Amino acid sequence: MKVKGILFVVSAPSGAGKTTLSRKITENCNNIFLSISHTTRPPRVDEIDGDHYHFISKDKFKEMIESGDFIEWAEVHNNYYGTSISNLDIVEKKKKDLLLVIDVQGAEQLRKKYKNGCYIFILPPSMNVLEKRLRERGADSEEGIKIRLKTAEEEIHHYRTYDYIIINDDIDEAVNQLKSIIFAERCRYPNFIPELPDLKL
């Protein structure tokens, strides 16, 4: 008998593939929902408001901070990112699993408030591969790529604070590893309490 939902928290440096990985998981793994964060950065060409992020202004974001609407938030690459407290209703009230993709700053905040989550860190195979992915993505200027690489070097050292580590060298293999973590956590006590038969003689 499943007694509660599970919060899966995924962090990774920009370009490590966390967004692609999380999308594939929610498409191929039953009963897990992707948390939609708020951000002040402009949407990329293929991004849809309310599907990839809730895109809002910095003034609106600051209003939500003052109102206590976020369970975690951070400023990354001169933009704000945050998770609304209401997103956790899926776990707390509906008892469904939630996949939350946030940076290491947000994960540190969340861990202090929500100790029962499962924290997973996605690593690139190397910094050279990470740089290649950022350049192929074509979403940042040269200066933007340098900033993301510098941030990545700092973030990677936080992997020690996570429960699981996945090296995303092959996306299909990374998806399989993340699915295995999800299935294992669903079988972990007290996330799951079996209804035992009467074993009395």
Determine the pLDDT at residue 168.
92
- How much is the pLDDT for 120? 96
- In a 13 Å sphere around the CA of 94, the CA atoms on its Cβ side amount to 13
The residue behind tokens 């990677």 is 156
Confidence of residue 3 (pLDDT cuts 50, 70, 90): low
52-26-179 Cα angle (round to 5): 135
The 10s digit of each residue's pLDDT in 116-156 is: 899 999 999 998 988 888 888 777 778 878 888 888 888 89
pLDDT at 131: 85
pLDDT in tens, 159-201: 999 999 999 999 999 999 999 999 999 988 877 777 766 666 5
Question: What single-letter amino acid sits at 27?
Answer: E
Grouping H, G, I as helix, E, B as strand and the rest as coil, residue 4 is: coil
Q: How many CB atoms lie within 10 A of CB 107?
A: 22
pTM of the entire predicted model:
0.84
> What is the structure's pLDDT at 140?
72
- Give the residue carrying structure tokens 């998981």: 25
**According to the model, what pLDDT value does residue 50 have?**
85
What sign for the dihedral angle of Cα 54, 141, 169, 102?
A: negative
Quote the tokens at residue 41. Answer: 């950065």
Condensed to tens digits (0 to 9), the pLDDT of residues 91-125 reads 877 888 999 998 898 899 898 887 789 999 999 99
CATH fold of 7-186 reads: Rossmann fold (3.40.50)
Looking at residue 2, its pLDDT comes to 58
User: Which DSSP string corresponds to 161-200?
Assistant: GSSEEEE-SSHHHHHHHHHHHHHHHHTSTTTB--------
Q: Which of 29-33, 54-58, 189-193 has the lowest mean pLDDT?
A: 189-193
